[in-house]
Structure 1
Amino acid sequence: MKFFPKKLSLKWINQAYDNNELTPYELVDEILKRAEENKDKNIWIVAPSRELMEKYISKLPPRSEDKPLWGIPFAIKDNIDLEGVPTTAACPEYSYMPKKSAFVVQKLIDAGAFPVGKTNLDQFATGLVGTRSPYGEVHNAYDDKMISGGSSSGSAVSVALGMAAFSLGTDTAGSGRVPAMLNTLVGFKPSLGAWSTSGVVPACASLDCVTVFANSLEDTETVNQYAKGYDAECVWSKEYEDKGKKLPEKIYLPLEEPTFFGDNAEVHRAKWYSATERIKKLGVKVEYIDYKMFYDAALILYDGAYVAERWADLKEFVSENEDKVFPVTKKILQSGGTEEKTAARLFEDLHMLQYYRHKAKEILKNAVMVMPTAGGTFTREQVREDPVKTNSLMGLYTNHCNLLDLMAVAVPENTQDKNLPFGITIFGLADSI
């Protein structure tokens, strides 16, 4: 029997290919086996199939440097288009058939990677918990009773359980980072516009990012190299100068102790302090910062008029299909259309946000900020009992990021940890990508 590691990495797959120890078709067989073994975890909306994967593998040329991601399997969140496969955004009635793949997906296919399937998500990418889908609640990779994180729930779990070497998610308020923490992955959220959002169902179009989950920072860096790039058809697309790698001059940690929550708050608190002690030994100057400004900025996303952007993109569908939308999702979306969300209120929020962005650029120049990715977690039952509060707590340290035009990478506190995993997120300015 051929050996397969529990988690797939670009390094292992490439070495196996180079040593003639593996073929893409053998990898397909293992992915299908694992998908069947984990079918009760509700990971997929379009499950892996031999037909789908062979469509791309059969077109691969002989192995060469011209296809740097040759034969690498990846999963795609089902709010991102894959040609000829329905996009649902976890709402069957919303489903449509894309005529071409999203810009980022096509770039990865052109580099030699092949799609595995389309993953489950919190409906319309609205949520950080992984339970808001008619296709079922996505289970945590290591503990079925715990949440997987959202909205990119299926994308994260597919990588954690070895059905893809990397996966694409999206991130508006933390959806590319929270699932990374809860499933012991690296989650990379590029700067706004660095990766095209053409072919992505909008949540908040001006804030949306396509993201990547992988098992190592090196793998996310490789995927970033081939996924990023200017897209003339994407109005949010930007060109960023490649500045190379360098250490920051400062690392900022929060002055006040972060909020830890849930039944295992003390476990996560201890893991946070374990991480910060190692940060202090890196040889980079550490200073402490009041997080309040970032918290106040985060409130603009849902407590102000900015939420109207979510409503603007989906109001027609939701108004005509109210009984087809998850109640909590509908409530959030419709809150963007209430009378108090006036144009005047929006401009007040935008002006305040510009102030926060200006301050963030001053603070984080040649520096990074480190925070917990999340202060805890919940069981799926706890989220069902109080869906709004639990979801809000999961976003305490994520919601500010895209509003302030920052990039972020979420990393595990311990890459081997499967017992209530914890992680930290490193934030930097957009041009530090």
Structure 2
Amino acid sequence: MLDKVAPTVRPPRSGFATARAALADGADPVALVLDAADRARAAAGDGIFTALVPREEVERKAAAAAARARAGEALPLLGLTFSVKDNLHVAGMATTLNCPVVAMAPEESALAISRLEAAGAVLIGKNTMDQFATGLNGTRSPDPLCRNALDPDFIPGGSSSGSGVAVAAGLVSFSLGSDTGGSGRVPAACNGIVGLKPTLGLVSTRGAVYNSRLLDCIPIFAANVDDASEILGLIAGYDPLDPWSRRDADAIETAPVPAPSTRLAIPRRDQMRFFGDAAAEAAFDTNLDRLRGLGYTLEEIDYSPFEEAGRLVFQSALVAERLVEYDEVITAHRDAIHPAALAAIEPGRGYSAKQAFETIYRMRELKRAAEIALADYAAFVVPTVPTIYTIDEMLADPMVRNATMGTYTYFVNPMDLCAVAAPGVPARAGLPSSLSFISLAGCDGVVAGLARQFQQAD
């Protein structure tokens, strides 16, 4: 087990402001990048990475970026480092989805990664994940388990566990994950950082291995909203080679903007659940008071359509979509599949095509319900997670408690919404709480602006 540290929210050592201040003082960008690479290598046994880029390759890429900058090229991410979830392709590195027997050898990197490297960022490694991106807790992976960056007794959140921890532990400046039902927000909540889940199709998913082509997107983990929004601005945009890319992606505002009104929606209190976690409930109330202090009016709305949409993600014929990617895998390599991952994929075989179409139709109806419910509000505000479990608690009841983690995240993608999760006041065991600011597709700048205001009011 890692040495336990006192839970405290802190910006990563290699965050944007730190690196840029050092560069302004004359620091060598190559040295900054290598320092991050060495920290990551020192943590190689902590279950955060599935693979690290060789140090000499990191140095070569950092030197090439520095040379481009000296030649006059504008590189906004010079001196910054990042890591990516191991379901995003990186040319020359295996993509394993945390199941080595299915390792792929991509010849081309995901478009989002190529854009970041073109902006001067240097990739440090690939992050661990709940196997096949099928969990929200971070324990559905081979040993050693990735542990919470603030308190190693607790789960890191999943499925983008390593991506969240790498940022919270200060090993990289930012990271990329994937998000089907909350995997870009739950690890952020568990580790006291920001998780930005863009509008579906705003960021090209070309080069990602899907859990759901209907619902997947590439989220960003960073120390604060400004950093996450900056990265979104660099990787967003229409990609004609990605059939899921939005044609209006280039017109969507990604930078934080003021809210169009002071009205915020929250769930009806009698419909909310915190699963016995009084500290989480109290933290949610305190976070809402912070919003009131900022001048916002909070109005309760019916949560039932959002809860129903959330159930569709993992309790309907939508789970059959996973078989597109993994049917042959779970047949040929059954013994290599984590039992909880297998339990999340295999039920898809029990649904009919008729049920799949019925589910898709219902998903469209619920998307319209969200549009109507949220039309008069700047955003919908919910706790990102209702509670957080220790690793031992999660392992004792992995299916039920995993689903608990998605109580307030599952509905976002099937309803075609965007979201930003930002850390709030302390909750259970001193770990931070988190609020998610959620709005309609294309309102990415609005939710970023709200989350930024909330985070800066701390």
TM-score > 0.5 by shorter chain: yes
1:347 to 348, 357, 367: 357
Identify the residue that residue 357 of structure 1 maps to in structure 2: 367
Q: 1:135, CA displacement in angstroms? A: 4.6
The question of 1:15 aligning with 2:21 is answered: yes
* Residue 380 (structure 2) pairs with residue 380 (structure 1): no
> 1:26 aligned to 25, 31, 34, which one?
31
Which residue does the alignment assign to 2:292? 280
State the one-letter code of the partner of 1:129: N
- Partner residue in 2 for 1:235: 243
* 1:269 aligned onto 2:275: no
Q: Is residue 326 of structure 1 aligned with residue 338 of structure 2?
A: yes
Root-mean-square deviation (CA, aligned residues, Å) is 2.0
Partner residue of 1:423 out of 427, 431, 434: 434
Q: CA deviation at 1:138?
A: 0.7
Q: Which residue number in structure 2 is paired with residue 316 of structure 1?
A: 328
What is the aligned partner in structure 1 of residue 269 from structure 2? 256
In structure 2, what is the equivalent of residue 94 of structure 1?
102
1:289 aligns with 2:301: yes
Q: Give the C-alpha shift of residue 91 in structure 1.
A: 0.6
Q: Secondary structure of 2:313's partner?
A: helix
- Alignment match of 2:60 (pick from 46, 55, 62): 55
Q: Distance in 2 between matches of 1:166 and 1:39?
A: 18
Structure 1 residue identity aligned to 2:19? I
Partner of 1:410: 421
1:155-205 deviation digits (Å, cap 9, x = unpaired): 111111111110001100000000001100000000000001111011011
Q: Distance in 2 between matches of 1:418 and 1:152?
A: 22
Structure 1 runs not aligned, ≥5 long: none
Q: 1:282 to 1:303 in 2, by over 3 A?
A: same
Distance 1:213 1:6, change over 3 A: closer
Cα distance in 2 for residues equivalent to 1:178 and 1:7 = 22
3-state DSSP class of the match of 1:403? Answer: coil
Report the AA paired with residue 226 of structure 1. L
Structure 1 counterpart SS, 2:69: coil
Runs of 4+ aligned residues of structure 1 deviating over 4 Å after TM superposition are: 415-418
Is 1:335 aligned with 2:351?
A: no
- Asked if residue 306 in structure 1 is aligned to residue 306 in structure 2, the reply is no
Tell me the amino acid that sits aligned with residue 385 of structure 1.
A
Deviations, residues 27-69 of structure 1 (Å, cap 9, x unaligned): 2343244334434421010135412312321221125562111
User: 8 Å contact 1:189–1:212 — kept in the other structure?
Assistant: yes
Instruction: Report if the CA contact (8 A) 1:169-1:212 is conserved.
Output: yes
Q: Report how far residue 418 of structure 1 moved.
A: 8.6
Counterpart residue type for residue 14 of structure 1 = R
Deviates further, 416-425 or 287-296: 416-425
Tell me the TM-score normalised to structure 1 length. Answer: 0.94
Distance 2:122 2:416 in 1: 31
CA–CA separation in structure 2 for the residues paired with 1:171 and 1:415: 25
Question: Does the aligned pair in 1 maintain the 2:147–2:155 contact within 8 Å?
Answer: yes
Which amino acid in structure 2 is aligned with residue 420 of structure 1? L
| TM-score (norm: length of structure 2) | 0.89
Change (3 A) 1:13 1:418: farther
CA distance in 2, matches of 1:41, 1:65: 37
Confirm or deny: 8 A CA contact 2:33 2:62 kept in the other structure. no
What is the correspondence of 1:161-180 to structure 2 with a 5 Å cutoff?
Answer: 161-180=169-188
Match of 2:6 in 1: none
Matched position secondary structure for 2:140: coil
Q: Give secondary structure in 1 for the equivalent of 2:278.
A: helix
- Gap change, CA 1:260 and 1:113, over 3 Å in 2: same
Q: Is the deviation greater in 364-373 or in 190-199?
A: 364-373
Task: Give the AA of the match of 1:16.
Answer: A
- Once the two structures are TM-superposed, the CA of residue 396 in structure 1 deviates from its matched residue by 0.5
Structure 1 residue 385, shift from structure 2 partner:
1.4
The count of aligned residue pairs is 425
Residue-by-residue CA offset, 1:304-335 (whole Å, 9 max, x unaligned): 11111112221012111111111110111011
Moved more, 57-66 or 303-312: 57-66
CA deviations over 1:368-407 (Å, ceiling 9, x no partner): 1000000011111111111101100000111000000000
SS at match of 2:116: helix
In the alignment, is the contact (CA less than 8 A) between 2:279 and 2:428 conserved in 1?
no
Find the residue that maps to 1:107 and give its secondary structure.
Answer: helix
Q: Structure 2: give runs of 5+ residues left out of the alignment.
A: 1-10, 445-458
Distance 1:231 1:366 in 2: 31
User: Which moves more between the two structures, 309-318 or 211-220?
Assistant: 309-318
**Inter-CA distance 246–317: structure 2 relative to 1 (3 Å threshold):** same
Which residue identity is paired with 1:348?
Answer: E
